[in-house]
Homo-oligomer: A and B are copies of this chain.
Amino acid sequence: MSDENRVQDLRAEIDVINQQLLDLLSRRAQIVSEIGALHTALGADHYDPEREAQMLTALEARNKGPFSNETIKALFREIFRASLALEEQQARAKIRVQRKSPDERTIIRLPDGTEIGNSVFSVIAGPCAVESYEQMDEVAEALSQRGVKVIRGMAYKPRTSPYEFQGLGEEGLQIARQVANKYGMFVVSEIMDKSQIDLFLDYADIFWVGARNMQNSFLLRALGKVNKPVILKRGLAATLEEFLYAAEYIVSSGNPNVILMERGIRTFEKWTRNTLDIGGVTVLKLESHLPVIVDISHSAGRRDIAKPLARVARASGADGLMVEVHPNPPVAMSDAKQQLSIPEFHAMMDEIVQLA
């Protein structure tokens, strides 16, 4: 037999072996899935390094080549990894915030019929913090001219230092409520602690969980009992997986109306305050049916890139954006550098409308 014929024969044998390998890998995966389900029921971790070590040792003992033990172990580690991924994927499939079909989407409906997460691109805006009735009134008037329905009514500000301005408290909520009522808008306001829920129910239409509280599981679970939507901001160093699990705390506690907000992650880069993870936004839209909003103020920390970031937010497939607007940014009591003036806000809105 010629060398070339021999090669053909050997290749045919390889094809058979490939099929046998496939069948074994599939069978193996089925068993692993079953174990995974039992582990989930038992509350155990899917990843079991000791068990893997035992299996590798057994394989090493049996291996007679020609693959080296190192190669065999590397190949089996790949198989283990694929099995683990399958288990985790199956575990995630049970997660409520995970998108189950391409068309699944959660739509948040506000009392007047306004929707977030449907086809309209939503804009949420307002000053960093409520400072006075006049300030809120001036901003709200401008927002209402552009059809903005949700205004920031921030009365409790999480601040790095205890000596910084911490917000007006309940007085701030009252002002926000009055102004929102005047213009037919809805108030979103940051809640800092679960003890504030009753207070906020009196004034706010949408609860807001800040980046520092993204993994405050007591607060998240308590908001799962509330009958109003919740905006959940991504922690400044939270992975997308952690972000979705934080949303899962709320949804699994009974409140399906969660809006995810990407606000930039902390990196080494200094020319922007944070690094807007726009790729993460596109992944969130794939992985979850929840609405996703892009915070173009905290991610940038500077107003001079608000226009392109607004365009980017819209192009990313996000359901809306959040932007800070102040009648007089230089004297703002917090985040002076990133708030837009009212004319800058109008210019930004013009950008988005052009894209529509």
Which residues of chain A have a CB within 8 Å of any CB of chain B? 3-4, 6-7, 10-11, 13-15, 17-22, 24-35, 38-43, 45, 48-53, 55-56, 58-59, 62-68, 70-79, 82, 85-86, 90-94, 131-132, 158-166, 192-195, 212-213, 215-219, 221, 235-237, 239-242, 245, 248-249, 252-253, 264-272, 275-283, 285-287, 299-300, 304-305, 308-309, 311-312, 314-317, 328, 330-331, 333, 336-337, 355
How many subunits of this chain does the assembly comprise?
4
- Give 8 A-B contacts (CB < 8 Å), ordered by A residue: A15-B58, A18-B76, A19-B58, A29-B65, A49-B132, A278-B278, A308-B316, A315-B355
Closest to A31 in B: B10
Closest to A3 in B: B38
Neighbouring B residues of A269 by C-beta, 8 Å: 239-240, 265, 277, 280
Chain A contact residues, majority secondary structure: helix
Contact check, A330 vs B86: say whether CB atoms are below 8 A apart: no
Contact check, B213 vs A216: say whether CB atoms are below 8 A apart: yes
A308 shortest CB reach to chain B, Å: 4
Closest to A94 in B: B70
How far, in angstroms, from A279 to B294 measured CA to CA in the complex? 12
Contact check, B43 vs A70: say whether CB atoms are below 8 A apart: no
Contact check, A25 vs B21: say whether CB atoms are below 8 A apart: yes
A207 shortest CB reach to chain B, Å: 15
Neighbouring B residues of A281 by C-beta, 8 Å: 308
Instruction: Say yes or no: A241-B160 contact (C-beta < 8 A), given A25-B67, A93-B74, A279-B276.
Output: yes
Q: Which of these, B26, B70, B304, B317, contacts A65 with CB under 8 Å? A: B26
Instruction: Say yes or no: A39-B79 contact (C-beta < 8 A), given A162-B252, A328-B53.
Output: no
Contact check, B315 vs A286: say whether CB atoms are below 8 A apart: no
Contact check, A131 vs B75: say whether CB atoms are below 8 A apart: no
Contact check, B286 vs A7: say whether CB atoms are below 8 A apart: no
